[in-house]
């Protein structure tokens, strides 16, 4: 059976993978999976239901029961619009802590596979190429210096009217990088066969163009 093609885009926090993946999907007419949002959704739900971030088994059960849908840029959790609520720094940190649990990752695998529908899928996250879609047609690992990523996140937050301190954001990113890279379950890594793209000095348009060029060369 020929499965729809997948472009898997991985990378550390604030590497721009979400913006790039959604634009690549839009240009190719593909579906889009923001896998990081799934962990943020579990984080938000666990906060609402007061589930301890260290309780892997209970978090895994919670993840299996969530009703999630992505519609026209709106993210619904159990029919509630949580698009903005899951994007806070606090929920991001909670999601990173929750993602270390194998029970949570296992519960979300089938959810992620469900996004693979014709004509194709662009999936972004930390283990899309290494674990979830190892047969992806194109595997990309976006990276940038911690300073460049912190500055991007700072600009995003200020643009949204959210107060932030660059030094705090940089420290949070470095701590999250260390945790994501050293965890036992699906650590952040460059998957075998992935093409690495350093984006510190590149514009979003340049990155999108590069990824699409790489994909076209793979299928031609």
What does R_g of the chain's alpha carbons equal in angstroms?
17
Please provide the average confidence, as pLDDT, over all residues in the chain: 91
CB 139 within 8 A of CB 195: yes
Where does the pLDDT of residue 176 fall: very low under 50, low under 70, confident under 90, or very high at 90 and above? Answer: confident
Tell me: the pLDDT tens digits for 106-129?
999 988 998 899 999 999 998 899
Mark out the alpha helices in 120-165 (DSSP H runs).
146-159
Instruction: Report the C-alpha gap between 190 and 188 in whole angstroms.
Output: 7
pLDDT over 90, % of the chain:
63
Band (pLDDT 50/70/90 cuts) for residue 185 is low
Domain boundaries, given as residue ranges, for the chain: 6-219
Q: How far apart are CA 173 and CA 186, in angstroms?
A: 18
| Higher pLDDT, residue 25 or 177 | 25
Q: Running DSSP on this structure, what letter comes out for residue 85?
A: G
CA–CA separation, 130 and 191 (whole Å) = 5
N- to C-terminal Cα separation, the chain: 21
**Around Cβ 195, how many Cβ atoms within 10 Å?**
15
* More reliable by pLDDT, 73 or 163: 163
- pTM for the complete prediction? 0.81
Q: In 72-213, at which residue ranges do the beta strands (DSSP E only) sit? A: 74-77, 80-81, 121-125, 138-143, 195-198
pLDDT in tens, 113-169: 988 999 999 999 988 999 999 999 999 999 999 999 999 889 988 888 888 899 999
pLDDT in tens, 76-111: 898 899 999 998 889 988 998 998 899 998 999 988
Q: Please check whether residue 59 is in contact with residue 42, taking contact to mean a CB–CB distance below 8 angstroms.
A: yes
The CATH H-level superfamily of 6-219 is P-loop containing nucleotide triphosphate hydrolases (3.40.50.300)
Q: Residue 141 region, left (φ>0) first, then alpha (ψ -120 to 50), else beta?
A: beta
Tell me the CA distances in angstroms from 152 to 60, 166, 174, 188, 210, one per residue in order: 32, 10, 14, 20, 20
Q: What pLDDT is recorded for position 196?
A: 95
């Amino acid at each position: 059976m020929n499965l729809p093609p997948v472009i898997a885009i991985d990378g550390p926090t604030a590497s721009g993978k979400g913006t790039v993946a959604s634009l690549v999907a839009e240009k190719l007419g593909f579906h889009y999976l923001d896998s990081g949002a799934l962990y943020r959704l579990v984080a938000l739900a666990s906060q609402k239901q007061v589930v301890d971030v260290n309780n892997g088994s209970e978090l895994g059960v919670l993840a299996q029961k969530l009703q999630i849908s992505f519609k026209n840029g709106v993210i619904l959790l159990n029919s509630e619009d949580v698009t903005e609520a899951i994007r806070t720094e606090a929920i991001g940190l909670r999601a990173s802590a929750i993602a270390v649990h194998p029970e949570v990752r296992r519960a979300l695998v089938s959810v992620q596979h469900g996004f693979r529908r014709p004509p194709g899928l662009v999936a972004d996250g930390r283990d899309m190429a290494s674990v979830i879609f190892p047969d992806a047609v194109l595997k990309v690992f976006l990276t940038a210096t911690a300073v460049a990523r912190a500055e991007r996140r700072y600009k995003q937050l200020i643009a949204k009217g959210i107060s932030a301190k660059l030094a705090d954001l940089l420290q949070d990113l470095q701590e999250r990088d260390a945790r994501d890279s050293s965890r036992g379950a699906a650590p952040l890594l460059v998957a075998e066969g992935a093409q690495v793209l350093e984006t510190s000095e590149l514009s979003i348009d340049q990155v999108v163009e590069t990824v699409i060029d790489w994909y076209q060369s793979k299928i031609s």
